[in-house]
Structure 1
Amino acid sequence: MKVIICGAGQVGWQIARHLSGEQNDVTVVDSNPDLVRRATETLDVQGIAGFASYPDVLDRAGARDADMVIAATYSDEVNMVTCQVAHSVFSVQRKIARLRSQSYLQAIYSDLYRRDHLPIDVVISPEREVAAAAMRRLSAPAAFDTETFMDGQAQLLGVTLDEDCPVVNTPLRQLTDLFSTLRAIVVGVRRDGTLFAPEPEDQLFVGDDCYIFTHIEDVSRTLEVFGKTQKKQDRIVIVGGGNVGLEVAKTLEKNRTRVRSKVIELDRKSAEIAAEALERTIVLNGDGLDAALLKEAGITRADAMLAVTDDDKTNMLSAVRAKAEGCPYVVALINDPTLVPMMGPLGIDAHINPRATTVSSILRHIRHGRVRQVYSIGDAEAEVIEAEVLSTSPMAGQKLRDIDFPEGVLVGAVRKRDEVLRPSGGLRIDDGDVVALFAMADDVQEVERLMQVSIDFF
């Protein structure tokens, strides 16, 4: 597949890293020559320095025979025009654009993206993706990471094991025997900074970060088994009233009528916009690092605090301050993955990586075959892939124990018709089944082969 990626920032670079590692023909375009040079020196990609929306630049990037254009520059307008040029001049079949302005995303204007208007096949909103990730963190505060799969019937939970965890030092094989009715399986473990897919005889230790795939009805019991308790989130303080904070506050107003939330925003104009857009949420204009303002927002009585400004350090420090004031659960928005190891020592319960959520969203629309969802874990170290099994797939008609999975791949769940099942060696995989797999980055290509990658995606 030949792909042109416009924008060599964090998201564009990460997408290029994924696709080039899977032997796709990738060209990166950016107006910043230094970013293009970084991409070509660190990845197996070609690079073009220039404005992505210019026809001659896209032509030099190979748009005449490209299968896909991904417009992920920092400018919404450049991304939109790039897709228009790719369609009108070069007849590129599939076009994905990252759009941040909420005005472009309102449903009443959705006709804008029809093929005879602005021909964009997939619109990705980082702010909405991040807001959705924040809501998932609030729905499972005992977990540091969470994502839903199989139309909401299954969930991936990231849980850190404490000393009082009842299954510490227990081989994973025994967990199946001890909790025979629990529809949950450990698919990934991060130990001493290294992520791996565990073997059945592996034990879990204090400090391990475990990724657990579970049926949605078994989430509470799964958390209990791993030593966690669920708490209601009735009072929430949001630091940052920009696009992300505003989207979270709006969602809280719509979905959780009993939640009392307050927003703190430093910029007066943004605070005024948020106050006008929200009905039941109190908006305070001021610094989220100000202890007095945090107390005025009720941080000492809050169940959770979300720090979602556009500055990593502000998010981290305001989360630490909120924790010091007695808030039991704090979440910070972190763009720089090198800061993530500091979360634990600082007492920050969970973080949201905007890059990872946006990358996951874009990958969901790139994968071949019948891929329904992709979730990127860590710094693109692994993926959870949900896909429908095709009749021509090497998996179809085989029992799980007979399928030659790579060492870094584990099956998290299988859905037959409307029933989600815990995987077992004797479970047969049939045409039309939906399978969720945890795969280390090096094994993703083999997973796609097992899922029968085919041109029918296009």
Structure 2
Amino acid sequence: MKVIICGAGQVGWQIARHLSSENNDVTVVDNNPDLVRRATDTLDVQGLTGFASYPDVLDRAGARDADMVIAATFSDEVNMVTCQVAHSVFGVPRKIARLRARSYLDAIYSDLYRRDHLPIDVVISPEKEVAEAVLNRIASPTTFDTESFLGGDAKMLGIALDDDCPVLDTPLRQLSELFSTLRAIVVGIRREGTLFSPEPGDQMFAGDQIYVFTHAADVPRTLEIFGKTGAAPERIVIIGGGNVGLAVARSLEASETRIRSRVIEANRARAEVAADALERTIVLHGDGLDVDLMREAGVERADVVLSLTDDDKTNMLASVRAKSSGAGMAISLVNDPTMIPLMDPLGIDAYVNPRATTVSSILRHIRHGRVRGVYSIGDAEAEVIEAQVLSTSPICGKTIREIDFPEGALVGAVQRSGKVFRPAGSTRIEEGDAVAIFALTADVPAVETLLQVSIDFF
């Protein structure tokens, strides 16, 4: 597949990294020569310096025979014009654009993106995706990562194991025997910074971070088994009332559970916008690091504090201060993946990485064949691929133990006739089944080959 990626920032670079590793023909376009040089020096891609919306630049990037254009520059308008030029001048079949401004995303204006208007096939909203990721974290407050699969019937939970975890030093094989009715399976373990797929005889130790697939109905029991219990949050303080913070506050107001939330925003104009948009949420104007303002917002009584400004350092410091003031849990928005190892030493309970969230969303629309969802884990360490099994797939009709999965891949859940169950070595994969597979990044191409997703384009 020939893909042109417009924008070589964090998201564009990460998408290029994924696609180039899967032997796609990738060209990266950016008006910043340093970003283009970084992409060409570190990845197997071609690079071009110039404005992505210019027809001559797209022409030199190979738009005449491109299969897809991904417009992920920092400008909504450049992304929109790029897709228009790619369609009108070069007839590129598929166009994906990242758009931030709320006005462009309003449902009443959705006709704007029809082919006879602005021909954008998929619109990605980073703020919307990140807000949903934050809400997922709140729904499972004792996890550091969570994502839904198989129509919401399966969950992947990231759990940090403490010294009081009741199943430490227990081989995973024995876990399945002890809790035979539990529809859960450990698919990944991060130990001392290294993520791996465990063998049945592997044990878990204090300090490990594990990824567990479980049926949605079994989430409370799964968390209890791994020593994570806690009531649903009732008091939430949001530091940062920008697009992400406002979207989260709106969703909390609309939720069925009675959650009391407050917002702290340093910019007066944004604080006024938030105050006008929210009905039951108190909005305070001021510095989110100010101790007196934190006290006024009730941080010491908060079940969860969400630090959602556009500055990583502010978010981390605000989270640390909130925890030291008595907040039950702190979740921080962190763009720079090199900051993530600092979360645990600083006592920050969970984080949301907008780059990983946006990359996952874009990859979901790039994959071939019957792949229905892709979720990127950590700093592109692994992926969870959700796919429907084709009749021609090499895995169709075989039991899981008969399938030649790479070492870094494990089946986390299988859905058949609307029912999700825990896979075992004797589980036979049938045509029409939906599977969720955890795979280390190096093993993703091999997994896609097993699913035969590389031969059919949508």
Give 1:255's aligned amino acid. Answer: S
Give 1:6's aligned amino acid. Answer: C
Q: CA deviation at 1:138?
A: 0.3
Aligned to 2:234: 234
Aligned to 1:331: 331
Q: How far apart are the structure 1 equivalents of 2:369 and 2:230?
A: 37
| Aligned 8 A contact 1:135 1:248 in 2 | yes
> 1:76 and 2:79 equivalent?
no
> 1:383 and 2:380 equivalent?
no
Aligned to 1:200: 200
Aligned-partner SS, 2:301: coil
Aligned to 2:22: 22
Q: CA deviation at 1:417?
A: 1.1
> 1:148 and 2:160 equivalent?
no
Aligned-partner SS, 1:339: helix
Q: How far apart are the structure 1 equivalents of 2:244 and 2:457?
A: 32
Q: How far apart are the structure 2 equivalents of 1:211 and 1:119?
A: 39
Give 2:176's aligned amino acid. Answer: T
Q: How far apart are the structure 2 equivalents of 1:427 and 1:253?
A: 43
Q: CA deviation at 1:448?
A: 0.7
Aligned to 2:419: 419
Aligned-partner SS, 1:457: coil
The 10-residue stretch of structure 1 (47-56 or 444-453) with the greater mean CA deviation from structure 2 = 444-453
Aligned to 1:37: 37
Alignment map for 1:378-457 (pairs within 5 Å) = 378-457=378-457
Alignment map for 1:49-448 (pairs within 5 Å) = 49-448=49-448
Q: How far apart are the structure 2 equivalents of 1:400 and 1:419?
A: 18
Give 1:228's aligned amino acid. Answer: K
Q: Deviations over 1:43-65 (max 9, x none)?
A: 00000000000000000000000
Moved over 3 A (4+): none
Q: CA deviation at 1:230?
A: 2.6
Aligned-partner SS, 2:298: coil
Q: CA deviation at 1:454?
A: 4.3
Gaps of 5+ in 1: none
TM-score (norm 2): 0.99
Q: Deviations over 1:104-163 (max 9, x none)?
A: 000000000000000000000000010000000000011000001111101000001001
Q: Deviations over 1:251-297 (max 9, x none)?
A: 00111451010000000000001111111111000000001101101
Aligned-partner SS, 1:217: helix
Q: Deviations over 1:170-208 (max 9, x none)?
A: 111110001000000000000000000011111100000
Give 2:145's aligned amino acid. Answer: D
Gaps of 5+ in 2: none
| Aligned 8 A contact 2:371 2:453 in 1 | no
Q: CA deviation at 1:77?
A: 0.3
Q: How far apart are the structure 2 equivalents of 1:199 and 1:367?
A: 28
Give 2:186's aligned amino acid. Answer: V
Give 2:84's aligned amino acid. Answer: Q
Q: How far apart are the structure 1 equivalents of 2:74 and 2:455?
A: 31
Aligned-partner SS, 1:404: coil
Decide whether aligned partners of structure 1 residues 140 and 257 sit closer, same or farther in structure 2, where only a CA change above 3 A counts: closer
Q: CA deviation at 1:301?
A: 1.2
Aligned-partner SS, 1:423: coil
Q: Deviations over 1:383-436 (max 9, x none)?
A: 001000011100111111111100000000000011101001111111110000
Q: How far apart are the structure 2 equivalents of 1:231 and 1:291?
A: 27
Q: How far apart are the structure 2 equivalents of 1:451 and 1:248?
A: 36
Across the aligned residues of Structure 1 and Structure 2, the Cα RMSD in angstroms comes to: 0.7
| Aligned 8 A contact 2:389 2:396 in 1 | yes
| Aligned 8 A contact 1:383 1:440 in 2 | yes
How many residue pairs get matched? 458
Q: How far apart are the structure 2 equivalents of 1:68 and 1:256?
A: 40
Q: CA deviation at 1:35?
A: 0.2
Give 2:238's aligned amino acid. Answer: I
Q: CA deviation at 1:453?
A: 1.8
Q: How far apart are the structure 1 equivalents of 2:63 and 2:219?
A: 46
Q: How far apart are the structure 1 equivalents of 2:93 and 2:347?
A: 47
| Aligned 8 A contact 2:448 2:454 in 1 | no
Q: CA deviation at 1:242?
A: 0.2
| Aligned 8 A contact 1:53 1:81 in 2 | yes
Give 1:185's aligned amino acid. Answer: I
Q: Deviations over 1:18-38 (max 9, x none)?
A: 000000000000000000000
| Aligned 8 A contact 1:50 1:57 in 2 | yes
Q: How far apart are the structure 2 equivalents of 1:339 and 1:218?
A: 32
Aligned-partner SS, 2:453: coil
